[in-house]
Amino acid sequence: MPIPKEQQRELNEKGCILIPDVLSQSEIEMYKARLLELAEKEREDGSGRVHTNGLGQHVRWLVNKGEIFEKLVAHPKVMPFFEYLLGVNYTLSTLTSNIISPGASDGGYHVDNALGAMPEPLPSFPMFVNSLWLLDDFTPENGGTRYVPGSHRSLTKPPSGLANHPQEVRLSAPKGSVFLFNGAVWHSAGANRTGKARIALICFCCRSFLKPMFDFVHYLKPGVVERATPVMRRIYGFDSQPKPPDVPKHNKRDTRAI
Ligand SMILES: O=C(O)CCC(=O)C(=O)O
C-alpha cells in the first residue's frame, strides 16, 4: 500500500517523518536488553565500534546476531516509506544501532554514506534512506538526533565544521516510533546531557543499483538466509548482484542463472 499523499508531501518537503507505534513495549525491552548485552560483549572482546570519544557505540551486523532482529528487515509499517523514497526494489545497506551515553557531545553534521563523497550538486532524488527505531524516548537533552528539515533540497553537503544551523531541530519522540529520513538531510546524533544512555536501532537502505555498506549476500549466516522470505532475500540484495562469468552451455555442473 503506498503511503498517503500528505506523508509523501512531508517527505518531499522536510525529508523526514515520524512513524508512530512501530515497536511494542515488550519489543523495545527485548531489543534493548539484547543490544546492551552485545555492546558490552563487543567492548570486552575488542570488536566494539565506539565513537564520540568512547561515549557512542554502534553494534553492527544485527541480522547475524539474533533472530529477533530479522523482523526489522521487512517491517510492514516501515517498508512503504522505503518503497516510496527508494523504489519497490530497494535494498538493505546496514542494520545497526547507535548507543549515545551520558556526556557524549553533538556528533558532526553529515549526509549519509556515499553522498558524503559525491560531488555537488547531489542527486535530486533520494539515494539512501535512514531510519532510527527509538528504544528510548528521544529528547533534545538526551541525544535526540539533530537535523535540518528540508536541507536535502539544497543538494549540498553540510559545510565542514558546521556547529549549529539556525533551522536545526533536535528530535523529541517517544520510544517505539521510527524517525525515517532521506540520507541527504543534514543530521547527526545530539549531545547527551542526561545520566542515561539513549539507544536506537538503525535500518539504513539504498537504491538497488548502489553498493550497500555491508555484504549480506556473502556473509549472512546460513540460518538467516534459510529463514528469509523472497522479499527479505531481495532486501538483503540477492536480486541485485553483479552478473557472474559466462560459462559454456555444455557445463552441466554449473546451474547458475545468468
Ligand atoms: O543516532 C543518531 O541519532 C544519528 C545516527 C546517524 O547520524 C546516522 O546513522 O547516520
pLDDT at 224 over 80: yes
- Backbone dihedral angles phi then psi of residue 18, each to the nearest 5 degrees: -105, 125
Beta bridge partners of 147: 169, 187
Span 162-172, pLDDT tens digits: 999 999 999 99
CA distance from start to end of the chain: 32
As for how many domains the chain has, the answer is 1
State the cell numbers at 129: 534512506
Length of the chain (residues): 258
Span 83-127, pLDDT tens digits: 999 999 999 999 999 999 999 999 999 999 999 999 999 999 999
Q: Which atom of ligand 1 is nearest to the CA of 146?
A: 3
Please report the pLDDT score of residue 187 as a whole number.
Answer: 98
Q: Is 143 left (phi over 0), alpha (psi -120 to 50) or beta?
A: left
Cβ atoms of residues 116 and 159 within 8 Å: no
* Nearest residue (CA) to ligand 1, atom 1: 189
| Most ligand 1 atoms within 8 A of CB, residue of 112, 134, 185, 187 to mutate | 187
Please report the pLDDT score of residue 254 as a whole number.
Answer: 57
**Coil/strand/helix, residue 56:** strand
Task: Read off the pTM.
Answer: 0.95
CA pair distance 20, 28, nearest whole angstrom: 13
Q: Which atom of ligand 1 is nearest to the CA of 188?
A: 7
Span 28-67, pLDDT tens digits: 999 999 999 999 999 999 999 999 999 999 999 999 999 9
Q: Does residue 257 form part of some domain?
A: no
pLDDT at 252 over 80: no
Q: Which atom of ligand 1 is nearest to the CA of 144?
A: 3
Q: Does residue 133 form part of some domain?
A: yes
pLDDT at 258 over 60: no
- 256 — pLDDT class (breaks 50, 70, 90): low
pLDDT at 155 over 60: yes
| Most ligand 1 atoms within 8 A of CB, residue of 106, 135, 145, 214 to mutate | 145
Cβ atoms of residues 130 and 19 within 8 Å: no
Percent of the chain's residues with pLDDT above 90: 95
Q: Does residue 91 form part of some domain?
A: yes
- Cα 254 to ligand 1 centroid, rounded to whole Å: 43
Q: Does residue 106 form part of some domain?
A: yes
Please report the pLDDT score of residue 226 as a whole number.
Answer: 98
Please report the pLDDT score of residue 257 as a whole number.
Answer: 54
Q: Does residue 245 form part of some domain?
A: no
CA pair distance 131, 200, nearest whole angstrom: 9
- 251 — pLDDT class (breaks 50, 70, 90): low
State the cell numbers at 233: 532475500
State the cell numbers at 79: 517498508
CA pair distance 25, 82, nearest whole angstrom: 24
User: C-alpha distances in angstroms, 184 versus 169, 187, 196?
Assistant: 16, 9, 29
Return mean pLDDT, the chain. 96
- 253 — pLDDT class (breaks 50, 70, 90): low
For helices 5-14 and 79-86, give the axis angle rounded to 10 degrees. Answer: 60
CA pair distance 175, 63, nearest whole angstrom: 21
Please report the pLDDT score of residue 170 as a whole number.
Answer: 98
Please report the pLDDT score of residue 79 as a whole number.
Answer: 98
- Backbone dihedral angles phi then psi of residue 12, each to the nearest 5 degrees: -65, -40
Average pLDDT over residues 184-206: 98
**Residue 51, domain extent:** 5-236
Q: Does residue 248 form part of some domain?
A: no
CATH number, position 26: 2.60.120.620
Helix residue ranges, H only, the chain: 5-14, 25-45, 79-86, 216-219, 222-227, 230-236
Q: Which atom of ligand 1 is nearest to the CA of 187?
A: 7
Which position has the grid cell 546460513? 222
Give the burial string for 82-99 (b: 16+ CB within 10 Å, else e): bbbbbeeebbbbbbbbbb
* Nearest residue (CA) to ligand 1, atom 8: 188
Q: Does residue 258 form part of some domain?
A: no
CA pair distance 81, 88, nearest whole angstrom: 10
Please report the pLDDT score of residue 250 as a whole number.
Answer: 78
Q: Does residue 249 form part of some domain?
A: no
Cβ atoms of residues 91 and 231 within 8 Å: no
140 C-beta neighbours (distance < 10 Å), count: 14
